[in-house]
């Protein structure tokens, strides 16, 4: 997937005029890219459209219009765009109650290394997690992790030919699986592959 450049972005003025409609379009698109694993874990698969929206929102919120500031935002968000051989996702651990969330984050250290995707007929692929920075401490894990799933050429071909995709978590304190994932999400993920 092609990375974003300044030429792909709307000016602050143009974006303000179109923001409501654009946001509705992106929220609908995101529905095909959100995968719940159990009650408390969400994988939100990123792509170019979603990252453009994120950049536009940051530019608007921070009132960034100078080239240097725009380039900084692009540098922050472009790594989350799939490269054609992978899926990239933001993983959110979600417990509405703050105390419960803190308790669970202490139990879920290392969970980011136990989340898998599987193309039908192939072995599980475990995420390469948090390449930007370490998000675990000795006491707890973070509620947010960034994941990359690398596929080989045979897996990519199988997905493009309609193979089912499954997903799951194999952590000692949190297990969940979805086999297969919903078709709308499968098809959206297939579009990330070259």
Given a contact cutoff of 8 angstroms between Cβ atoms, the answer to whether 33 and 50 are in contact is: yes
Is residue 3 within 8 A of residue 81, CB to CB? The reply is yes
CATH topology of domain 33-46+83-194: Immunoglobulin-like (2.60.40)
pLDDT for the residue numbered 131? 75
> What would the two tokens of residue 71 be?
């380039």
Structural domain boundaries in the chain: 1-31+48-81, 33-46+83-194
Low-confidence ranges of the chain (pLDDT < 70): 132-137
pLDDT at residue number 24: 97
pLDDT of residue 133: 60
Report the C-alpha gap between 191 and 179 in whole angstroms: 20
The pTM score is: 0.90
Rounded Cα gap, residues 190 and 72, in angstroms: 29
């Amino acid at each position: 997937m092609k990375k974003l450049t300044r030429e792909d972005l709307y000016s602050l003025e143009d974006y303000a005029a179109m923001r409501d409609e654009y946001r509705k379009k992106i929220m609908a698109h995101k529905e095909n890219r959100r995968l719940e694993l159990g009650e408390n874990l969400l994988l939100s698969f990123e792509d170019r459209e979603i990252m453009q929206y994120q950049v536009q929102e940051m530019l608007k919120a921070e009132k960034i219009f100078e080239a240097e500031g725009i380039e900084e935002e692009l540098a922050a968000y472009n790594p989350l765009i799939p490269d054609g051989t992978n899926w990239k996702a933001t993983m959110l651990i979600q417990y509405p109650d703050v105390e419960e969330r803190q308790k669970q984050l202490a139990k879920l250290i290392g969970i980011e290394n136990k989340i898998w995707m599987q193309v039908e007929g192939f072995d599980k692929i475990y995420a390469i997690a948090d390449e930007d920075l370490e998000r675990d401490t000795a006491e707890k894990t973070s509620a947010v992790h960034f994941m990359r799933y690398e596929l080989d050429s045979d897996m990519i071909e199988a997905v493009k030919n309609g193979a089912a995709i499954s997903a799951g978590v194999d952590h000692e304190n949190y297990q969940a699986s979805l086999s297969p994932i919903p078709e709308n999400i499968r098809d959206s993920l297939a579009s990330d592959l070259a």
